[in-house]
Amino acid sequence: MSKKSHENLETRFDFLDEAKVTVADRGEEYGTVAENFSRAALIWSAVLGKPVTREQVALCMIGLKLARLSYDDKAADGWVDVAGYAACGGEVSKAE
């Protein structure tokens, strides 16, 4: 989504609602969170030469978003993405 679509985000509930929409959209594009994070974990494990878990994928993606927010903490899409990755991390932590 463009930054323009985030202009109406003001409350924590707005950000959480937008994160829900974003996560749902990504699921339609890339498959389930567990599948997508498992694929990323396999690739990152090969690149790094050590095991990476799905939970660690979520943590690293949150870290990337935080790094970007440290450059521009007014970027609403970054806050939305952090919320979305946190929710996805919670989900994969409970998945079999």
pLDDT at 51: 98
Give the span between the Cα atoms of 50 and 66, in whole angstroms.
24
Q: Are 72 and 51 in contact (CB under 8 A)?
A: no
- SS3 percent helix, strand, coil of the chain, rounded to 5, is 80, 0, 20
Name the pTM for this structure.
Answer: 0.88
DSSP letter at 4 equals G
Query: How confident is the model over 33-54, as a mean pLDDT?
Result: 97
Residue-wise pLDDT for 52-94, tens only, equals 999 999 999 999 999 999 999 999 999 999 999 999 999 999 9
pLDDT, position 94: 95
5: confidence class by pLDDT, cuts 50, 70, 90: low
